[in-house]
Amino acid sequence: MKIKMTYFQWVVAAVLAAVVTACASIGRPEGGPRDEDPPLFVRSTPQVGAVNFTGNKLLIEFDENIQIKDIMDKVVVSPAQKTNPSITTLGKKLSVEFRDTMMANTTYTVDFSDAISDLNENNPLEGFAVDFSTGDVVDSLCISGMVFEARNLEPAQGMLVGVYSNLSDTALTTLPLERIAKTNHLGQFTVRNLKPGSYNIFAIKDMNRDLKWDRSEDVAFLDSAVTPWAEPAEMADTLEAADGSDSIVMRAITRFMPNNVLLTWFNEDYKAQYLKDTKRGDRNRISINFAAKSDTLPEITILNGACAGKKIEEVAVLNYGATRDTLDYWLRPDTLIKQDTILVAARFLRTDSLQNLSWGTDTLKFTFKEPKKKKEKKKKKDEKADTMPQDTVPPIVFLDFNTLTSGTHEVYMPVLFRAAQPVDSVNQLGVHLHIKNDTLWDSIAAPPLLRQVDSRPLTYKMSHNWEYGATYRITIDSASVFGMYGNWNKPLKHEFTIKKQEEYSNLYINVSGYPDTVAVVVELLTSDEPMSRKPVIDGVAEFPNLASGNYYVRAFFDTNRNGIWDTGNVSQKIQPEEIYYYDKKIKVKKNWDIEQSWNLYALPIDQQKPHEIKKNKPKRKRGEQIKRQSDDEEEEDEWGNDSFNSFGPGGKSSNNAFGNYR
């Protein structure tokens, strides 16, 4: 009968197995197993769980020589101290000297995570912590869980997790976290030695080490307060007899709950809004750059010259992207273009001292200086003067208007064009489309040439229901496309071939398990970045005309139904939109239709992301191997078990992941 084991038991079993199976190392002629055991705790002063502590130093002794690494990143003293303690090692001993005054009637925890290892073989001591109290009682409650990145379900490493007994909404930004811990390399955490009561729990990437959250820092929060508790339980232990046989015994323990808190961190993408810079690189264009994206365009008025008093939209064509942080104004009147200096009044939103957006007005100055012309070389005295009449007709300057697509074209893509200046008009009668029939070109109705995006007057597209495998030719007559300065295009001809139908495949994802009231969007990935996204309609997300290759699938709950994944907001208590991964790679072959069923809740959250695209891959211990399986089989983790933890929908865990027993 297979016995379900906790993560803690798996760690112990894996270490024991490694000791048994370790081979002799090179350079040890006497043979014998390699040391695979971490250091063992022997004693400490004060003792673990001591009360009425009055000193300023913690001394710990182990059974072998030790070393400590990454003190600043891994070792946490809780409650945190303003001045970091001095931590040193010598042989088998470790010393922690506290430099701040210890608070009265307070339980202190020194959590070393996996910073301590033996000196010779670098075997880490996982999850080691020492607690003691300056009062009569050692508080003993715990909160355990995991922290993932909301967008891609990567375990968060070295992230600060802490609690507040002050349940005010402003505590996170105004008060330091009361008790803290850090996530390990698997994203796991345990906030230890809590008093009875209710707590708000947060995770932050504390870049400035002030134990508070700044809006630019990564953050995670739980929607409701947590009340920790302890409960009696039993734990299975495996005992080995002298003859090598095993027996399982049950022993009484205390289990500390909750041990399944799931936090997903995000960044609000907050940036203070201000005018970053301005420039006039060309005489006919001025540019304004803001420090952050905006939903609102500035209000700009010309202050000098013949156009004084006019709004910028009356005398210029605006080109901008989706974030509206970079604005290019192409000036239209010749009198305005010829002005060496242009003054404008710009009224725009900017961040004030309270971090709120408020309207303000600045006077901006745009100056253009003609580049210096190169001096002509003086003619030699004996060089005869040119007696030919000078050409008084200036050469025609054509509008640069070209295609952006290659000769092989995707069946679902429009043909794109780009101009060197905003396009003023297109004569659709001068745009022609032909399809190749054997050696002849047959004329077909040409679709209109339109702006690709309304805010981008330089980029145009031609959309059509292209035929698989067909060859097309687009011709645009001269003077069919006019720029805003009166320039027109040269004749243009572009030939291209659409890929054949057998080069494509179709993928249909049948999605189930989610609430009927939720809109779901499925993203197709090649690594961990979306290459395409489709809404789930009637339970199916369709991805037609895919190239052959390996794909991964991710989905999110589109809470606001805008078709894109949205981050969270702390002050508004909005969580980032939930993410789910299909746990296997999908192989797409040419000319195949693939239908894949996917229940979003079939696996716990921490087991969903495919191993191949994980960024955080825990290191294996010496002597361990990853079991390789076929693509059709479920992949095991680096320990050989189903998962490190089992977080189901809503952060619920199917087994204890942290070994927080006593």
Cβ atoms of 146 and 155 within 8 Å: the answer is yes
Mean pLDDT, each 10-residue run in order, the chain (662 residues): 35 34 35 78 96 96 95 93 93 96 95 93 92 96 97 95 96 96 93 97 95 95 96 85 80 92 95 94 95 94 96 96 94 96 96 90 95 64 53 83 94 96 97 96 96 94 97 98 96 97 96 95 93 96 95 97 96 96 96 96 94 80 43 36 39 38 54
Strand pairing report for 357-367 and 107-113: unpaired
- As given in the structure block, the two tokens for residue 563 are 């078709």
CB 344 within 8 A of CB 302: yes
Q: How far is CA 292 from CA 273, 514, 598, in A?
A: 5, 35, 38
Class of domain 275-367: mainly beta
Class of domain 401-501: mainly beta
- Measured between its terminal Cα atoms, the distance across the chain in Å is 27
Domain spans, the chain:
37-138, 275-367, 401-501
pLDDT in the model for residue 649: 40
Phi-psi region at 32: left, alpha or beta (left = phi > 0; alpha = psi -120 to 50): left
Structure tokens at 375: 């001096």
DSSP tag of 591: T
Q: Give me the pLDDT at residue 617, please.
A: 76
- Cis bond before residue 371 (omega within 30° of 0): no
pLDDT in the model for residue 629: 37
Measured between alpha carbons, how far is 518 from 82 in angstroms, rounded to an integer?
Answer: 46
Does domain 37-138 fall into CATH 2.60.40.1220? yes
Rounded to a whole number of angstroms, the CA Rg of the chain reads: 34
Q: According to the model, what pLDDT value does residue 29 have?
A: 41
Q: Say what the pTM is.
A: 0.81
Same fold: 37-138 with 401-501: yes
Structure tokens at 642: 């189903």
